């Protein structure tokens, strides 16, 4: 899959805004000597009118450039639950509670609108019925506000979905977006097809996911040997985080002012898993981590990265405390 294919927006205008299209038309009209059809007489605008039109066209073009350069994101909270701190990270406290969020990350890039994960969806209760009884107590959830319902209210259309991994609490909302392409590494797509509960809930994929598989390029990025720059501008870069599942990925987001965030999926449930580094609680780890050794390698790699770049904002998918640094939809970070 090429970067060009990633760049094509659903409306076919290749990222051009309304302002840019109008500005280009006015600019053509305002520029002397430019005529679409030589058989037609040239416009008889006076010089002041032509100058005014030209200035207005330049203003619109500038606005269009600003709109195209814009990148913003928002944390869409679909549910939350309270659990024991000890269940979330090795060495956690049995006398302290922790809040686990179920979220999607909404990202507006000038070329496309994306979701990183989907949180819990409209059909989660029916899907969760497939969960084995011995896993249900650890994987409870509260009231659900599906991401599709929240975005539909404001008329926001999603062009594509990126999965950090295919576990139930990240893929539940896929069924609410049957028309949207879902990007995942080949290994994760295969995992979604062959794994069984509690790792994978088959009902979440029975609607026929529009999978778009991808490979990483041998392009180093912040210590990762491979990466995938989604739009070729460094704003959104995927890296492999194999371990929690065979095709887990993380997403780096670099804002216009240089601030950088790293969404790490479930490599760790808590920020302390990276700062330690510390694994998940042993029961949790045995239940959810596909490859313990690979997961430990990821924890250590992110730990080193955080030491090298202390300004980097690392955001585990369920850590409500770490996520307080982000605005919750409909508020935006840009």
Q: In whole angstroms, how far apart are CA 30 and each of 22, 59, 270? A: 12, 13, 57
Place of tokens 């300004």: 311
Question: For the segment 13-48, what is each residue's pLDDT rounded down to a tens digit?
Answer: 334 344 444 444 443 444 444 433 444 444 555 665
CATH no. for 71-325: 3.60.15.10
Walk along the chain (334 residues) and give the pLDDT tens digit of each residue.
434 243 333 333 334 344 444 444 443 444 444 433 444 444 555 665 555 554 454 444 444 444 444 899 999 999 999 999 999 999 999 999 999 999 999 999 999 999 999 999 999 999 999 999 988 877 889 999 999 999 999 999 999 999 999 999 999 999 999 999 999 999 999 999 999 999 999 999 999 999 999 999 999 999 999 999 999 999 999 999 999 999 999 999 999 999 999 999 999 999 999 999 999 999 999 999 999 999 999 999 999 999 999 999 999 999 999 999 999 999 999 9
Domain boundaries, the chain: 3-67, 71-325
As given in the structure block, the two tokens for residue 304 are 């080193």
Burial of 243 (0-12, 13-18, 19+ CB in 10 A): buried
Beta bridge partners of 315: 263
Convert the pLDDT of each residue in 136-183 to its tens digit: 877 889 999 999 999 999 999 999 999 999 999 999 999 999 999 999
For residues 186 and 322, give the distance between their C-alpha atoms in angstroms, rounded to a whole number. Answer: 30
């Amino acid at each position: 899959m090429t970067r060009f294919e990633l760049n094509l927006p659903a409306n076919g205008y290749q990222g051009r805004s309304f302002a840019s299209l109008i500005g280009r038309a006015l600019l053509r009209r305002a520029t002397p000597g430019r005529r679409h059809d030589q058989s037609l007489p040239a416009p008889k605008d006076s010089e002041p009118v032509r100058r005014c039109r030209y200035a207005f066209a330049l203003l619109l073009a500038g606005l269009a450039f600003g709109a195209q350069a814009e990148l913003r994101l928002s944390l869409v909270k679909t549910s939350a639950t309270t659990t024991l701190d000890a269940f979330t990270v090795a060495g956690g406290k049995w006398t302290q509670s922790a809040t686990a969020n179920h979220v999607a990350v909404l990202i507006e890039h000038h070329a496309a609108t994306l979701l990183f994960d989907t949180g819990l969806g409209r059909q989660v209760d029916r899907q969760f019925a497939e969960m084995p009884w011995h896993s249900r107590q650890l994987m409870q959830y509260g009231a659900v506000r599906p991401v599709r319902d929240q975005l539909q209210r404001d008329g926001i259309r999603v062009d594509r979905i990126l999965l950090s991994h295919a576990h139930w609490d990240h893929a539940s909302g896929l069924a609410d977006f049957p028309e949207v392409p879902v990007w995942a590494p080949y290994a994760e797509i295969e995992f979604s097809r062959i794994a069984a509960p509690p790792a994978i809930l088959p009902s979440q994929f029975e609607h026929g996911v529009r999978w778009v598989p991808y490979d990483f390029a041998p392009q180093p990025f912040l210590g990762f040997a491979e990466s995938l720059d989604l739009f070729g501008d460094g704003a959104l870069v995927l890296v492999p985080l194999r371990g929690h599942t065979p095709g887990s990925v993380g997403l780096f987001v670099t804002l216009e002012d240089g601030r950088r965030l790293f969404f790490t999926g479930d490599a760790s449930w808590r920020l302390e898993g990276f700062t330690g580094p510390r694994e998940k609680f042993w029961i949790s780890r045995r239940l959810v981590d596909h490859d313990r050794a690979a997961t430990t390698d990821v924890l250590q790699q992110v730990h080193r990265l955080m030491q090298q770049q202390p300004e980097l904002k690392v955001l585990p998918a369920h850590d409500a405390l770490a996520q307080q640094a982000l605005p919750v939809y409909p508020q935006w970070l840009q």
